[in-house]
Structures are given as C-alpha cells and as structure tokens.
A and B are shown apart, each in its own frame.
Chain A
C-alpha cells in the first residue's frame, strides 16, 4: 500500500505518538510495555496505537496474545524523504557541484 503522507504526518503531529514511534524504533513492544513509561492507561495508549496503525506506521502481530506492536519503516521513509527533500536535493547537489568544480580545476592545473 502506498503510504498516505497526510495520515503519516497527522499521526506524527502528536508528541506522545512520536515518543511511541521512537520507542518502537528500538524494537517491538506490547501495549502494556508502551503504557508503563508514559504513565498512561492501556486504553489511551491503544487509542494512539490505532492512529499509528491507520497511518501504516505500526503493525500488530496476530499471533501472540499480547499482540506486540512493531514499527513499519515504509511510510516513515516516505515522510522523511519528502520532509525537506527538495531543499536537501539541492543542498546535496550543490555540495557535489562544489566538489566537482574543485576536482576539475585541480586536474586542469596538473595538466598544464
């Protein structure tokens, strides 16, 4: 499924959900494990997880009873590529242009 960037960004607009995402970046966790450090009830963590699931950011295992949550990298990668991507594209290209011109003028000097 193509990541829906609107959903991804609105899911990430909430600081608690960003913290959950950051926690899941370190590995799978159950709702109970996620609730503990945030001093939140399990139902309210579940609500946040549902938003992240709808954005495609998190998936939950169907096999274990605790249904651990895991981070899905595809939509995040799309979001990160897009955030500032046009600027990054040009800043990176200008870096390479600068190096390219430097290398070129060195070669010319050596050739003379």
Chain B
C-alpha cells in the first residue's frame, strides 16, 4: 500500500543498538510502549491495547489537562513493519479533532519499518495525512513538517519558550 504514496513530507530514522526482536517487543507490548511513547512531559497510560490489524491502542496523555489519542492498527507484519492511523481521541476511543486546531488532519497514516544491521536495528517512521482535505494537508506540510517555519521563527521561539516555561 506504500507504492503510490508520497512520504517525502515526513520521515524519521533512528539507529538502535538492539536486535530487531527486542525493538519489536517495545512496540508490540502494552507495558513497554507506554513507557516510551508519547509527547514530552506527558504521562502516557494505555487504556486499551490490541496489537492486531483493526485493533486499537487507546491512551491518555496527562500534562495538567487530560488528552487522549489512539492508534488504529491496519497492518502488522512481524518483525519488520507496522502500519497504523494515529489520531486524537476522546475518553471512549472515538476519533477527535486536535485540541489546538480544526485544520489539523484528523488522522495520520504511519508506517514504521525495522531492518537489521550489523550494529542493531534501523527504525524508520514515515507518515502522511490520511483522508485529509487540501487545506488540512497544507496545514500538516506547512507547519509541522517543512521545518522551515520552525527555523525561521527559531530565534524568537527560543526566547519565547524560556518565557513560556517561566510562565507555565
């Protein structure tokens, strides 16, 4: 299903010094994924974890206010590939809009692949908006992925981030 897709907009690769089957466990087991996955500063708790095609990983993210998110697994090919739709959620695992904007795509299609290397495992995540309107796609590309905006505002944002952290 990746053939016709254009993932130029988002790709993150990481070299891990661990065998592929160890990395796979960290993704596929509930008590492991909740220990590392999620936004910085948020305590992620798995509320539902069904690691199978069609299953959900529903989680809460606590950082002052409660937010929820979910993975809807589409494809699981051990030990080299997981495909899922990621979105914000309500407390009952229903899909929800992003709390910060109604122009953010509802769902992001993610594909993570694991390949064995001499040193361990190469993990590559690619993502793109799923079922998004042109406006939502543009929002994702412009603000999230190009990086140019973040760089352009970099100096200001650094100062602001100190300011906001002081105010938080």
Taking CB atoms and an 8 Å cut-off, the chain A residues in 1-41 that contact chain B are 2-3, 5-6, 9, 12, 18, 21-22, 25-26
Least CB distance, A15 to chain B, in whole angstroms: 9
Is there a chain B Cβ closer than 8 Å to A83's Cβ?
yes
A92, B100: Cβ atoms closer than 8 Å: no
Nearest-neighbor residue (CB-CB) of A21 within chain B: B156
- Stretch touching chain A among B15-23, B46-54, B76-84, B87-95: B15-23
Whether a CB of chain A sits under 8 angstroms from the CB of B1 is no
- B22 near A12 (CB under 8 angstroms)? no
Q: Contact: A90 with B12, CB < 8 Å?
A: yes
Residues of B within 8 Å of A, CB-based: how many? 42
- On whether A5 and B144 interact (CB within 8 A), knowing A97-B26, A100-B36, the answer reads no
Q: Chain B's nearest CB lies how many Å from the CB of A24?
A: 9
- Is A111 among interface residues, defined by CB-CB distance under 8 A? no
Q: Which residues of B contact A49 (CB under 8 A)?
A: none
A90 to B159, CA, bound (A): 24
Query: Is B117 among interface residues, defined by CB-CB distance under 8 A?
Result: no
Nearest opposing residue in chain B for A90, CB measure: B12
Interface contact B144-A86, CB-CB below 8 Å: yes
B9-47 residues at the A interface, CB under 8 angstroms: 10, 12, 14, 16-18, 22-23, 26, 32, 35-40
B157: chain A residues within 8 A (beta carbon): 80, 83
> B163 to chain A: which residues have CB within 8 Å?
25-26, 71, 73
CB distance from B100 to the nearest CB of A (A): 5
Alpha-carbon distance between A106 and B82 when the two chains are bound, in angstroms: 27
A12–B153 CB distance below 8 A: yes
User: A94 contacts which chain B residues (CB < 8 A)?
Assistant: 12, 14, 123
Contact call B16/A97, Cβ cutoff below 8 A? yes
Residue B74 interfacial (CB < 8 Å): no
Give the distance in Å from the alpha carbon of A5 to the alpha carbon of B103 in the complex: 9
| Contact partners of A84 in chain B: CB under 8 A | 144-145, 147, 150
Name the CB-closest residue of B to A27.
B163
Q: Is the CB of A18 within 8 A of B153?
A: yes
B residues engaging A (CB < 8 A)?
Answer: 10, 12, 14, 16-18, 22-23, 26, 32, 35-40, 100-101, 103-104, 108, 123, 125, 127, 140, 143-145, 147, 149-150, 153, 155-157, 159-164, 167
| Pairs of residues from A and B, 6 with the lowest C-beta to C-beta distance, nearest first | A96-B36, A25-B163, A97-B36, A84-B150, A94-B14, A100-B36
10 pairs of residues in contact across A and B, judged by CB atoms under 8 Å: A73-B167, A80-B160, A80-B161, A83-B157, A86-B10, A86-B108, A86-B145, A89-B39, A94-B123, A101-B18
